[in-house]
Amino acid sequence: MRYLLAGVRECRLTTAQVAAQLGITARCVRKLYAQYLEACAAGREAEWEPGRSGGHREKPIAPEAVDLWRRMLRVDPPAPYAFAASEALRLFGLSVARATVRRWAMADGCAHELRRKKPVGVIHRWQCADVGALWQLDVTPHAWFGSESERLPLFDLVDDCSRVITGARLYPRECLLAYLDFLSRAFREYGLPLALYVDYHSFFFTHLPENLTYLGEVLQHCDISLKYAPTAQAKGKIERQHHFWQLRLPSYFLTYGIHQIDTANDHLDPLRLHHNTQEIHRELGLPPQKAWTLAKRQHHYVLRPFREDPWWRYVWSLRTRVRVGIDGTVPVGHLRQRVPVRIGSWVVHCRHPNGSISILANEPGSGGKPILLFSYAGTGPDWTI
């Protein structure tokens, strides 16, 4: 061994030649060569000996993980190797690298071509210093249930500082009720940020400087401001988050035979939480949830806790003012319902994201508590509004 490594040192041999003679990998030769050079620097090259080998340390792969990988890698499109390794950890507690999954797939005959990995930028992109200072919000349409399926919008929300995915949900349409439902769920779970980073979509931006859109007024009620991104490249974090879901979700839904939005959303939350707590972010070098906790410990945390007030449910609904008819009724769905107020007075019709309808005698911001006149369970959400 000393003779061969001395040959490498004198440039008579290469590490590949030494690896071929010893029957080990070139990586092991480089490790031994580094130890040999340390001994040479200390003047002990004549006494140096390699340490004992650790032996065969490859962990056996559980049969259920093998079955999962075969199903995930044989659909079209196949799952990324990193996602297959992540699912083995989430479902079976099996911690393996994506390279291990790839080697297994090559031996099993279900390997696919590797996608070109983008290099990590030398200069880190700008980001907020505090958790909750800015959340990036965007929607991406994609054929989530297979290439022949309908392109459905995925609503995506990520904290700019920690990269924690605070929301991810599929909807049949990108509409106002979908935004109300999506944002209220995220705020209930994590709290209220200071601002949302959005594009110039009509849901957020109006050309009249002093006016706000309906969604802008709802956010203003919660003291949340809007910041506008001039280009798609300016929202790089949320755009990369879209790419993350587009690589993983189609193969996941095909693996488990999921073709319905409600069922898909039931699976999305566990995937999102696992990514936040277990998967290491390439730029941060640690899982997003750990970055969130570290920032909070260092007092880089401006997220306000969620506290539900009596008006919360009605603020996050589609509200319209309607006048009580001469028969003392107001429209509720396809019917009319009598309400105990004076004929000709104005009431507030609230359509909630879950499809239910409420009739209020007063509006949010009018002071006091909401006065509920009538409530209707409804038949389900109407995402075309």
Question: What is the predicted pLDDT for the residue at 54?
Answer: 55
Highest mean pLDDT among 22-26, 163-167, 237-241: 163-167
How many CA within 13 A on the CB side of residue 293? 7
Within 10 A of 15 (CB to CB), how many other CB atoms are there?
18
126 pLDDT more than 80 = no
Sequence-ordered list of residues with C-beta below 8 angstroms from that of 216, at least 6 positions apart, any chain? 204, 206, 226
Residues 1-17, mean pLDDT to the nearest whole number:
89
Sequence-ordered list of residues with C-beta below 8 angstroms from that of 141, at least 6 positions apart, any chain? 151, 152, 153, 154, 174
Per-residue pLDDT tens over the stretch 187-203: 999 999 999 999 999 99
Sequence-ordered list of residues with C-beta below 8 angstroms from that of 176, at least 6 positions apart, any chain? 203, 214, 215, 318, 385
Residue count (the chain)? 385
Output the CA torsion sign for 209, 213, 215, 217. positive
Question: What is the predicted pLDDT for the residue at 53?
Answer: 63
Within 10 A of 237 (CB to CB), how many other CB atoms are there?
18
Distance CA 306, CA 160 (A): 19
Distances (CA, A) of 286 to 110, 132, 201, 230, 277: 30, 19, 33, 30, 9
Within 10 A of 133 (CB to CB), how many other CB atoms are there?
18
Question: What is the predicted pLDDT for the residue at 115?
Answer: 67
Using alpha carbons, select from 36, 38, 5, 37 the residue that is nearest to residue 19. 5
Q: Strands, DSSP E only, in the chain? A: 135-142, 152-159, 165-170, 195-198, 225-228, 318-323, 329-332, 335-338, 346-351, 357-360, 372-376
pLDDT level of residue 235 (50, 70, 90 thresholds): confident
Question: What is the predicted pLDDT for the residue at 367?
Answer: 76
* DSSP string for 294-309: HHHHTT-B-PBPP---
Which DSSP letter does residue 62 get? P
Distance CA 4, CA 2 (A): 6
**What's domain 135-264+281-297's superfamily in CATH?**
Ribonuclease H-like superfamily/Ribonuclease H (3.30.420.10)
Using alpha carbons, select from 101, 206, 207, 198 the residue that is nearest to residue 158. 198
Pairing of strands 318-323, 346-351: antiparallel
The residue whose two tokens read 């920032």 is 295
Residue 353, preceding peptide bond in cis (omega within 30° of 0)? no
Instruction: Report the run of H or E that residue 72 belongs to, with start and end.
Output: helix 63-73
All structural domains of the chain with their residue ranges: 2-41, 63-108, 135-264+281-297, 312-376
Per-residue pLDDT tens over the stretch 216-232: 999 999 999 999 988 87
pTM: 0.82
Distance CA 359, CA 212 (A): 24
